[in-house]
Each structure stands twice: as structure tokens, then as C-alpha cells.
Structure 1
Amino acid sequence: MDTAGKVIKCKAAVIWEKSAPFSIEEIEVATPKAHEVRIKIIATGICRSDDHAVEGKLSNVKFPIILGHEAVGIVESNGENVKHIKPGDRVIPLFVPQCGQCMCCKDSRSNICIAAKLKKSVGVMSDGTTRFTCRGKQIYHFVNTSTFTEYTVVEEMAVTKIDSGASLDNTCLIGCGFSTGYGSALNTAKVHPGSTCAIFGLGGIGLAVIMGCKIAGAGRIIGVDVNPDKFNIAKELGATECINPKDYDKPVAQVILEQTGGGVDYAFECVGHIETMLAALNSSHFAYGTTVIVGVSAPESTITFDPMILLSGRTLKGSVFGGWKSKDSVPQLVSDSMAKKFDLEKLVTHRLPLDKINEGFDLLHSGKSIRTILLV
């Protein structure tokens, strides 16, 4: 492309300080350095984790910053020594990179890359600098991606090529929300046919968990949310019933224990609140229930419970990006989407241009959206 080797001036949504609204700015995006790729973002989803970052609830955030981590785009140019990506490729940036060489990347039990965690400080690339500037100031990166911008720069280990025929729209959901929920059911919990599941939180991730539970053959899928407006879509995607904790004068875990005859086989917490984590744990069967924490909690949050609750056989697990090894799995998930094995469009409620990003976050806060896609 004729922009290769040049600084690109483009539009981006910048957060200048904690809890501030997004500001649409003209930024400069530097050329990619060795092992880096510059991407033209086409579509990017608004995820609850982005909102946590705005509110200062994540420890890996420095302001001013360009957020966003769920996107699809086209490679504009490469730095030196990029081996597997070329300009023109359709790609998905990866907030969970995969170097392929570290201990965890080589072990089938983990999808967390040690190299990615050790190589860089918060908000910068591996060389300790950023690729974004605005008004003469450096703008920090977010979880290897920063997709609320027309162009971004990522390391090669934090991007993967997808099918050239893949949609440059709702495919962005595979970059986070869909894959996180879907994989937590299939990979982390390993839901088995005929089982009973409870999903706490029916946002985009919780609904994707329901899709995963249904694909796995669960016999009973219980959606739990204080917003009954989510119940119809939850049932459309596979929930057999839904519970609103506000409808009962007893703890929702007790309600589930009573309605399931002792607890569910699998419980998923997709909210990020300590209270719902405990409710999910307590709603699982005492002898063999598995609880998976998917929601991101605030920094320094702690969870306290009697260890005896685990001694009888319960299991408590966590799941990041659904347990998928990103570079290996994302292309296959895209292919599965193209083959109609699941319908990403059912998770999309709104589409907005990038300059209406604050409206998109208002929809998130009001509970009126499942996933809003920003068309960049």
C-alpha cells in the first residue's frame, strides 16, 4: 500500500484520563518495527472489559490510551522479519498472544503466553515505546491490540490471519466475546451431553456460553440475570429456562439447588462480581459440580468461602479467552462461523460509526445492547 513506510494520520477514540468520555482525535500511527504489523481496523466490538478499563478497574491500563480489543481488519504493512502475515491479509488482533515457543504455548493445558507477559511493560510495545501519538503526547496501547482506531500496530504474535472470504463485520466477535464464552463451555468446563448448566450474566459472553453448552449437548441450560429483557435471546440461543434473582426472597443459589435437586453440573460466572461468583459456586453440585469464572473482577477484589465447599468434590476454575490457543484456534473458529456452525449475528444488537462510540457505551451501561459493533 502507498502508506507503507510512512506515519499514518487517522481517527481514533482516545481516553485521556480515568472515567473520561471517549474523545475522537486525529492521531499519528508510527510505522511498524521488527516483528510488528500495522492493521487497518474495519470493525471492532464494544466489550465490558473496555468499560472496566475506562473506569480504572484493570491494572494493565495507563492513560491516555486507545482501548478496544475485539476486532477484524486488513494488514496495511509489516515491519522487518514478519514471517506469517503479509499486507492485504484479513486478520484478527489477539489480546491473548501466542508466541509458540514458551513453556505455556507448548503445553496443551494452557493458553496464556509467558513471553507476551514478560516481554513488555504496561501500555507499550516490546521496545518500551508506543506507536501512537496525539497532540504531541504518546498514547498508550491496550492488551496488545488497541482497536478503537482506524489503524493500529501489534506484534506478530498478537495477530492471526483468517480466511480471505471471512466477513469484515461480525467476525470481530471471535476476537473476544464469542470465543471467550463459547470456549469456557467447550474447553474449560468440558460440558458433557445431558448435563445441567447455569450461566450467571446474559451479556455477550454469557450468551456465547449458552451457545457452547448447547453445542456440547447440555440437557438443561439455566440463564440467570437481573435484566429479564435478555431472556428471549437467551432462550433463542439454547437456554431452557431463565431465572431473575429479584423474583425470589431467597439466595439465587438456593433456588437453583432446589430446582435442580442438588445443584448444576456446570456453573459459569460471566459478570465479574464477587457476589455472583459465590452464587455460581454455591449453585454447583456439592459432589461433582464445576464452576468457571469468566467475568473480570475489579483489582484487589477478594473472594472468601469455606474451603470445605471444595473438599466434597466441587471444582473452581478460571477461563481466559475460553481456553483457546489464539493463533491456532481463531482461524478455525472463523471457518466454523463461515460454515454456519454458530450464528454470530444473533449476538449483535447495534452498529455505529466510530465517532458514536460514547453512544455505544451508553447502550452497554443501560443494558440495551448485547454487542455493539463499531464500523471504523
Structure 2
Amino acid sequence: MNILLEQIKLTNIPSFSLTRQNRILQKELVDCFLQVVNKGIFILDENVKVLENMVSSLCEVDNGIGVASGSDALNLSLMACDIGYGDEVITTPFTFIATAAAISRVGAKPVFVDIDPDTWNINADLLKKRISTKTKAIIPVHLYGCPAEMTKIAQVAKEHRLKIIEDAAQALGAKCNDKSVGSFGDTGCFSFFPTKNFGSFGDGGMVITDNAKIADKIKLLRLHGAKHKYHHDIIGYNSRLDELQAAILNVKFKYIKQWTIRRREIAELYSSLFQEHISACRLSIKLPLEPDYAYHVYHQYTIQTDQRNQLQNYLKNCGISSTVYYPIPIHLQKAYSSLGYCKGDFPIAEAACNQVLSLPMFPELKDEEVAFIVERVVDFFA
């Protein structure tokens, strides 16, 4: 192991990389690309239909609708659920801004709820306090691949007759109480951005739903509001998952389960190595948690420490990349200053933004690289 660690010191370890995966899949990817090119149909053809069926089947729902991005999946879901001007939608301040921006784009108001300190997901126990007569929906986010507490969230939504739109952009394959994320809500929204745990070679997304009426409306919305060419029933959008991206994803879909298993193995290795030093009181970090109800897919392996910035700089000097998801909570973003939130309104989310650090995580990461990363983190705190 020491020889291997010395070898790794001479290389850089990326936070995320598709290069290794692309080398492994190169022939399959090139073949699928050429098949699409030779057929010459690039929009809403057979590859999109196959992917829609496979993802909806994986999540055990009736409908999958491929769209242009995860952001569009959220936006079209809100529209299909008839949410618009004057409405309020509850969500988390600790996520990528696309979650809140989708609410704003349909004319509704995002209302934030602080997060659970252990999972970093929206705190289901705080939801009721933020519900008003204007509240129409909840958008929970399954952050880092860890499911939000959907059983509780679904119960609150049922009691108050609220829609649920799941932001599962980072969590394809994750489960809550043995039920797939995305299948609890009126819709589930996935992103196929290249860095996701199931990513294409560009933008792409999908909505899944058991509601046939919602599915039909999203199909209309993604295609300029038309069921038939040049016959437009509503004002829609141009939001279609293209054939090339779908073909690439169909190649990758065969491997999603084994990649998830590998991510979980890497996470277990990280945690077991870190835990040895935490138990000996030589390390001051908080490790990611997999709740009893959850099957975590570890889109990210994220730790928390009040020395985050210093640790990140130290790792960078050691040739180890890391990423902060996310450095500013949405309620403190300039874009949302009009909502009137102040620093201190959501203290747990604000603390997370100042303290979380995502370490390298992708299925092709080697065990010896994980060991090297852990050693460097331990060295920093020594």
C-alpha cells in the first residue's frame, strides 16, 4: 500500500472525472453515436422512448418524459401541476439555485425551510410551520444522493392537499423505505448533467410520474404545446431530450446498478478509514449519514468541518481536488434579496454552506486513492 500511495502522490486526483469511464465504454459509446448519426433522426426518436421506459421502470412508475435539462424537469412539473402566480412552494435553501428558480419562473414564491443537520435535506418536522393558505406544493431535494424523509413529507402533503415535486437530480437509484425516490411525488425530476451519478454528454433531464394527466401535459409543454405538428393546444416550450444524449444514457444505463454499488463501496471505505481516526479523537470532521430509512447512492461523499476552506486548500496542494456544494444558501443569494431573508434565518443551512466539502467520488476511483485522500485529511488535522 505504501508504494501505491507514493505513486499516487505524483498524480492529481480529480473531484470527478468521466475520462476513466469513457475509456472503458469507448467502443459502446462510439457505436451508439454512429447508429444515431447514420439513422439521421435526432429529436424524440427510439432512443428517447427506450430511456423513458427504462428510467420509469427502474423507479416503478408508469411514465417517463425526457426533457432538455433537470431545471426544465422542475419547471414543467410546476406548470403541469397548475402552480403559478400568487402561489407558494416550500423548498430547501441548501441546494442548487435551479430548484428555487423553477418556482420563480412560473411566478410562484419560494418559501424556505431549514435543513436536517444530519442529512442536509429539508427538515420534514419543520414543514407545517411554513404552510399558509397560499402554499400549493413542496419540493424536497435528495441532496448528494441521500433521500429526504419522504414518508413524513408525503404525510404532511396529504394532510394539507399539497403537490409534491421531487428534485431527484442527484439521486437516481436512491430509495426511501424501499421505494424509489421520484415515485413519492406527483412528479420526480432527474438531471442528466454530465457530473450526475447518471450523466450524459451535455444537458438532459427527465420527469417521472404515475399521473397520466400530468404526463400528457408535460409532453405537450416540452413540444411547443403541440400534440401534432403545427397544431398547438397551449403555449409550450422547446424542451426535448435529444437522441444522441439518450443513446449515450442507454449505454450507461446497463451499468447504473454496479456503479451505484461501487459508489457505496467507496463511501464505506472512506467512512471506515475516517472512523478509525475519529474514534481515536484525532479527527474533527462529520461524516455523511445514511439514515435507517434510506438507500444512499452517494452522488457525493461530503464531510463537514469548521476548517473547510483551510482543508480544501491543503488538499489542493496535495494534488487532490474537492468541491463545495454549495457555498451560499439560496435565501442569501443576491437574486433572492427581494424576499427579505437575512443571515441567521436558516442557521443549519448557513452553517453547512460554510463547512461542507465534497471529496472525490466517482465509480472508477481506486481504493488506494481513497486511502491517500484520507491520509492527507488526517495529516491536515494532525
Write 1 or 2 for the structure with the bigger share of helix: 2
Write 1 or 2 for the structure with the bigger share of strand: 1
TM-score range, shorter chain: 0.3 to 0.5
TM-score (norm 1): 0.35
TM-score (norm 2): 0.35
